[in-house]
Amino acid sequence: MADLSAKSFAVMSANPQTDPFLQQFEDIIQTIQRDINVLGEPTSDRSAKRRALEHIQSETLLKKPALNPQVLFKVFSSITRSTLRAVSDPVEKCRELSITIISGFVKNVDDVIPFLPYIIPTFTSRLAQPEIVEPAEELRLLMTQALLDIVKKSRHGFAPFVEDTIKILARTLMDTYPEVKKESCRLVIELCKFNVKPVAFHGDALAKAVLPVLHHRHSSVRIIAIEAIGAAILVDAKGLDDCLDTLRSMSMDKAPLVRETLYTIAHKWMLELIDRYTYGYKILPLLLCGMTDDMPKLRAMSVKFMDEIGALYETEWESRIKDEMDYTDGWSHLPIHWLTLAFQFPDRPRVGSRHLARDNMQKVVAKIVEGMGNWTVEVRIKSAQMLGAYLTLTEDQITGYVGVILPILYKILSGDDPLVMEEAARVASILGNYVNADATLSLLLPQLAMGGGSTTSFRLGCSRTLHGLIHGASTTISAHASRIVDALADKDLVLNENMLILYEISRCVCELLLKVTTIDQDVSFKVLMILAQLESVVGDENMPGYINMQKKTNESLVRLSSLCQVSNVESLYGLFFENAIDTLTATHTSWTKHSAELRVLETVVLRVGVAIEPHLSKILPLVCYCASKERDYEVRKSVLLLMIKLVQVLKASPSSGRALSNDSETLLREPRLNSVQADEQECVGFLNVSLLNTTLERDLLPILISNIEDDEIATRITSLKVLSTLLDSDIDWNGSTLKKLYPELLKRLDDAQDKIRVQCANIWPVYFNSVCRWLAKMASSYPIDTTNKLTSIPGADGGVVEIALDTVHWQTMIKGLTIHLDDTNPDIQDAILNALKAGAQKCIPKEMLSEHLHSVRAKHRTTRYIDDILLV
């Protein structure tokens, strides 16, 4: 310090006339000399030091008008030693004043380089120690700001002190005070700007020192920290490896300005780094993050950056890409429907951008795929978005890496966060657009067939990936339609019990049919069988995916009908009906209740509708076989239920009814009503729906009468239920049938099983209703029988027409029923009472009934029931 002062005075004394500021300098020194002495005296008290510093400040820096920089330089040369000694003073105010004075002189003098050998060591002793020496964070900030001013002022002359400054930064970047961190980052930027070579020796350490600041909670701190790292990497790129993961995480920062700064720095690296193409695979993912940013502004900015980088690439590698630049074709290679996937590019990415992306494919793809498997949802989403943007740049050149990309898509789409799955599906669509379907399908379809060890989730991922590939592909995928359909038709897949897998199959088929323009018959039939299997699936709206699956299936059927040039879905099923039945019945001898063919058969048969009439000869033998006693109960029941629905469909077609009638006895005798043993109501419903007003009526009654007397209790019960249903239906019963029926009902009243007797007694009211309807019809058709004594008349065809019941029939019924009014079972007595009341009210001759009741009244144990009837 003494040397610095002596040199200054020597200069001033050499030629006092040439220095116009000498007298001013001497006056100032004379004014503050005592203060300088006080600061240099160790025994001075704190108040004296504080007053001395304040006086020096007021006489120099705060002087009005301001002193000339040359005078300040000379004054600073005289007070530097004393002032720097106060930087370590125990009194905070003294330290603050000394630092403020030093900072003020640094800002106002023209040259600070002569003072650096004294200022930097002092600051280093206060800021670069392992433990905090300066306890006041405001003073640490002041010293850091002063150091920043020194670097700006000295510029390249600061080189000898870079190492000490980096030691300071290693501590100040870890400071707890955010403002100190920010000033330290600015200091890093200034160092890298003016002292490239000296900082290059420490660039790696400098970048690592700034790295923790990126995690600060204040966005302003993170922004300046990114800029500091950007400056450090430009000086020495070796530190990039340690910063990459943290920088990539910054692409998901919630503050837009932080992300904007990150993308700007990455752009700057790709333009200014000397070996930028060596590090391109590390920097390019940061720009991909920008191209997929949530904010449109940042996306557009990043795309612009990528375009500028591509332009530089074209300039530097002109000879390499000249031919390709002459034949660029914009977006013409893409289908119109796909342009919405093209991110933010206003046109096809320029040749330079595409080549830059292709040069780094191996490492970039590996890093992105690694990110897609990250444990955090945000990273997986961002990585999937990056891959989509990268595919837009690499286009079909990515084909060689499809084997790396597809497995991670399977994994994500097998079940992940919905947002991750959405992005992965988008990637699959882009992949399908650029990569030849032969390459992707050769890898995907075997995996879909193997199912990853038959795991449902893996197949789900494969099927969703397949849908994405089909969705993104052009109409050229028609050439691969047969391969895709064969894979989807695999029984392990299409017969899977998982509804979500079935939904994905329906999506794949629907998407495929939208892409193809023509389709041959073999493929059409396979597609139809897939759709029939999907349509036959039993479910409800509470099952996830069921409603959507059915919707997609219906859309596919309509589209397939159009491709096959038929008018509707029914015609489509009719077109392939023979093939479908042959395919389904190939294994009918081994069908069980779990066989999907049963459900598919029902779908195919019912979908054909009335057009099935020419094919009944093919269906009915199958029904007879499957409804035989030797088959499983569930199989028999399923077939009978199918017949319910089929005959209901055919009711509107008289010709179809006649065709069924020709085989009715076979149908009814083969399954036999006793085939239903547990769930009887289905058979009842079958006969109720299918036989009303059909020609089966004449064939049914003998079988019913036979089954009423069957040895099996369940058969007798079921037959009575069927009979009750028929009597209560709209069938127009004739007199002959009614006369044949009532003796059988009277006989069942003597059955050994009381529950059958009660059931039979309950049939009589509906029997009387049928008789009443028949009599009313006959009375309107043949009014000549006014006395009810003529029971039959000649018919128009030469036969006999029954128009009434004669006395013998009425007496037989009355006597047979009256006996059971005295039954020991009260339930039977009540049922017979209701039956006779209903008959008396509707059709039984009252005189005949009354006469008989009076004749037997005395013979009954109780007369209550007879008396009730006589009151009617």
How many residues can be counted in the chain? 872
Same domain, 44 and 87: yes
Closest CA to 870 of 834, 830, 831, 837: 837
CATH number, residue 168: 1.25.40
Residue 67 DSSP class = P
For residue 172, being part of any structural domain is answered with: yes
Same domain, 138 and 180: yes
Same domain, 115 and 230: yes
Separation between Cα atoms, residue 205 and residue 200, nearest integer Å: 10
Number of domains composing the chain: 2
Same domain, 39 and 50: yes
Same domain, 122 and 103: no
> Is 794 in a helix, a strand, or coil?
strand
For residue 186, being part of any structural domain is answered with: yes
Tell which of 213, 236, 259 closes a domain.
236
Domain span at residue 171 reads 111-236
Closest CA to 807 of 852, 776, 765: 852
Of the chain, the end-to-end C-alpha distance in Å amounts to: 139
Closest CA to 713 of 744, 677, 685: 677
For residue 833, being part of any structural domain is answered with: no
Separation between Cα atoms, residue 221 and residue 201, nearest integer Å: 26
Same domain, 104 and 116: no
Would you state the pLDDT for residue 707?
Answer: 75
Q: How much is the pTM? A: 0.74
Residue 374 DSSP class = -
Tell which of 63, 92, 109 closes a domain.
109
| CB neighbour class for 541 (10 Å; exposed up to 12, middle 13-18, buried from 19) | exposed
Would you state the pLDDT for residue 2?
Answer: 42
Tell which of 185, 206, 236 closes a domain.
236
Would you state the pLDDT for residue 429?
Answer: 94
Same domain, 105 and 115: no
Name residue 429's amino acid.
Answer: S
For residue 194, being part of any structural domain is answered with: yes
Same domain, 115 and 231: yes
For residue 139, being part of any structural domain is answered with: yes
For residue 539, being part of any structural domain is answered with: no
pLDDT mean for each 10 residues of the chain (872 residues) = 44 50 85 88 85 91 87 91 91 93 92 94 92 92 95 92 94 94 96 92 90 94 96 92 91 94 96 92 94 93 94 89 65 42 64 92 95 93 94 92 96 90 94 93 92 76 95 89 93 87 94 92 94 90 89 95 91 90 84 84 85 76 74 76 72 53 51 43 42 46 75 82 79 79 88 89 89 82 56 56 78 88 88 88 87 87 85 79
| CB neighbour class for 201 (10 Å; exposed up to 12, middle 13-18, buried from 19) | middle
Same domain, 94 and 190: no
Contact 106, 64 (CB under 8 A): no
Separation between Cα atoms, residue 42 and residue 32, nearest integer Å: 18
Name residue 150's amino acid.
Answer: I
For the chain, give percent helix, strand, coil, nearest 5. 75, 0, 25
Same domain, 117 and 212: yes
Same domain, 36 and 26: yes
Q: CB neighbours (10 Å) of residue 159?
A: 16
For residue 137, being part of any structural domain is answered with: yes
Structure-token pair, residue 98: 């000394």
Separation between Cα atoms, residue 577 and residue 607, nearest integer Å: 10
Closest CA to 111 of 70, 141, 75, 161: 70
Helix axes 296-316, 256-272, angle to 10 degrees: 0
Contact 87, 98 (CB under 8 A): yes
Closest CA to 431 of 383, 372, 391, 478: 391
Would you state the pLDDT for residue 337?
Answer: 38
Would you state the pLDDT for residue 692?
Answer: 41
| CB neighbour class for 3 (10 Å; exposed up to 12, middle 13-18, buried from 19) | exposed
Q: Is the dihedral of CA 678, 682, 688, 691 positive or negative?
A: negative
The tally of CA atoms less than 13 A away on the side-chain side of residue 781 is: 15
For residue 661, being part of any structural domain is answered with: no
Same domain, 138 and 72: no
Alpha helix segments (H runs only) across 109-177: 116-127, 137-154, 162-172
